[in-house]
Structure 1
Amino acid sequence: MIQSLEGKSITEPMKGVGLLKEIIFIFDYICPYCYLMLPEIERLYSEHRIKVSWIPTEIYPEIPPEGTDLKNFLGTRKVEKAYKLIKAQAKKKNLVFYLPERIYNTRLARMLTAYAFNKVPMEEILHAFYNSVFVYNKNIGDHRVLQKICLQLGISWDDFLQRMEDEHLLAVIGSWEDMIKPYSVEVVPTIASGENILAEGVCSYEELVKMINK
């Protein structure tokens, strides 16, 4: 099982500039550490000649659709200790962060991402989901919440429902799973390039720059 440590959706570098590196960012929408790393990855591809493949995964697929109490699931002491660290880092990054009381299943969120990735910029998809979880504390396994995200992104909820078992949609998810398989991912976020894992968990922007320039 992949644990939380602390698509074809590709973000292209500036036109006319040769690629320096291609990286893979493996994340889950319920992981606050992935949320903390989002500004660093966005800054990385805006300031350097890199291409980013955003790969959503599920760290706790056993969680029921209605979610489960966060402290009961992970342990009260672990949650309270992590919350202090995450809140402090979020403040430094100017990120709004409210810890949800429940932890939710992200299977449908990943499926909706697969449906939306070639219709909407991945950055918009990521922000829509992360805001739902860590700003508004919504259950992104709930159809009503996902329907609102579709409205926000300008995509059809009804069409998504009809295509949930579509071969193309399942193929996208299968391609994501194939991409992360060689890395034996155990924690998220994981940042990889080529055959190597560059980083696991939260790291600074400066550390990321050093890693991609090695």
Structure 2
Amino acid sequence: MHQPLRVAFDFSCPYCYLLWGYVQELRRTSPVPVEWLPWEINPELELEGRALQPGAPGISQPDQLGASLGLVPSARTVLSNTHQALAALEFAKDLGQGDAWLDVVFPAHFVGDRDIGQLPVLLQLAQEIGLDVQALEAALQAGRYNRRLLDNEAYCQEHQIEWVPTVLWGQEKLLEGVITFSVFKDTLKTLF
């Protein structure tokens, strides 16, 4: 088994959604080991998120980079606070369901325009993949995964990560920011 790629990401980033989709596409033909490193890029954002106006900065289509793979994010109406969604990923990882969480949250947010900053939305998504909804709610309300998210923040600062997504191989930054599928695929060919 190869060492995994590490991907610093946030659920609010459309380019992270694209990278998730690229991983899904490559996994159709070969295993791509990925360790997703949740990094909250808008920690100051109020819990209720912020309404976005159509055409406002931050919700434009990311240049149709994923259109050929069917990865076209919708124009979102809310910039969601992702703290609880990222903490819930850590909960899901502890149960061996991290990939399932990513597979339900990214499409819900970027295709379904669901506000993943709202606890009822997260609990419904958790139910869809068979997570214990009551245990998740208790963990989130107790802040059980806050320390892990702070540790991820410290890791990103220590490794001078400035953009999401950032793809790391060991300690080396392979790719950062806006990444096309062809560049991602070609880069992985050199590793696996």
Question: One fold, TM greater than 0.5?
Answer: yes
Q: Who is 2:99 aligned against?
A: 123
Instruction: Say if 1:99 and 1:53 are closer, same or farther in 2 by CA, change over 3 A.
Output: same
Summarize the Cα distance change of 1:121–1:162 in structure 2 as closer, same or farther, 3 Å threshold: closer
Question: Does the C-alpha gap of structure 1 residues 49 and 101 become closer, same or farther in structure 2, counting only changes over 3 Å?
Answer: closer
Structure with bigger helix share is 1
- The number of residues matched between the two structures is 189
Q: CA RMSD in A?
A: 2.7
Report the CA distance shift for 1:49/1:123 in structure 2 as closer, same or farther (over 3 A).
Answer: closer
Mapped to 2, the partners of 1:199 and 1:29 lie a distance apart of 18
Give secondary structure in 1 for the equivalent of 2:65: helix
**Which residue number in structure 2 is paired with residue 155 of structure 1?**
131
User: SS where residue 174 of structure 2 aligns?
Assistant: strand
Q: List gaps (5 residues or longer) in structure 2.
A: none
1:113 to 89, 92, 96: 89
**Residue pairs, 1:1-214, within 5 angstroms:** 18-19=1-2, 21-44=3-26, 47=29, 50-71=32-53, 76=56, 78-79=57-58, 82-83=60-61, 85=63, 88-164=64-140, 165=142, 169-170=145-146, 172-212=148-188, 213=190
Give the 3-state SS of the residue equivalent to 1:54 in structure 2. Answer: strand
Cα distance in 2 for partners of 1:60, 1:181 equals 15
Give every structure 1 segment of 4 or more consecutive aligned residues whose post-TM-superposition deviation is greater than 4 Å: 44-50
**TM-score, normalized by length of structure 1?**
0.75
CA distance in 2, matches of 1:171, 1:208: 31
User: Hey, what's the Cα distance between the residues in 1 that align with 2:149 and 2:89?
Assistant: 9
CA distance in structure 2 between the partners assigned to 1:145 and 1:199 by the alignment? 32
Stretches of structure 1 that go unaligned for 5 or more consecutive residues are: 1-17
Distance across 2 between alignment mates of 1:178 and 1:45: 30
SS of 1:60's equivalent? coil
Q: Which has the larger radius of gyration?
A: 1
Whether the 8 Å CA contact 1:66–1:139 is kept in 2: the answer is no
One-letter amino acid of the structure 1 residue matched with residue 10 of structure 2: D
Q: Which residue of 2 aligns with 1:4?
A: none
For residues 150 and 116 of structure 1, what CA distance do their matches in structure 2 show? Answer: 9
TM-score (norm 2): 0.82
